[in-house]
Amino acid sequence: MRGIKTMKTIALGITGSIAAYKAADLCSKLSKNKDIEIFVIMTKASLEFIGEQTLLTLSKNPVIKSLWEIPEWKPGHIALADKVDLFAIVPATANIIAKCANGIADDALSTFALSHTAPTFIAPAMNPTMWANQATQNNVEILKERGVKFIGPDTGMVACGDVGTGKLSDVDTIYQTILKELNIS
């Protein structure tokens, strides 16, 4: 049947957290699902933690990493915004949470966050002190009021050795949450 979209499109935003390597696992799980097409948007800082080629290979789609790389007449982040069924930022730093809450669009990921209308999930990953900071908590509340759903963060030891709430939720939990939202088994 023509005109009926069966495959779901996910935009996966990856930010500059040490947990960025776990986004590769999530991308792999999502891309193995025959009902999902995945596109990755990476911040400049995320590229310091994980390579573009990894996400290109796993997603089987070009990685958007700049506002200035336009492969077609419509900027990549806008063309993707027109067709995305779900947007997930995994991992989400305090920086991207603040940008999303305050409408700051100074890179491909934060611009995409303002240009789409699909359901949004944010999986934070940061130092527990940063997560507990009142500015971060205020930004989280603003986003929740706008309908953004949060997955975690979890409590445990983070990369710097501190213990507390700020650890990225388990990749399987994030994956299952996304499948549930899209009504995919």
- Residues assigned a catalytic role: 160
Cis status of the peptide bond prior to 91, with omega within 30 of 0: yes
Rounded to whole angstroms, the Cα distance separating 148 from 161 reads 29
Buried b (16+ CB within 10 A) or exposed e, 83-95: ebbbbbbbbbbbb
Identify the residue whose tokens are 């409590």: 155
Cβ count near 135 (within 10 Å)? 12
Cβ count near 70 (within 10 Å)? 14
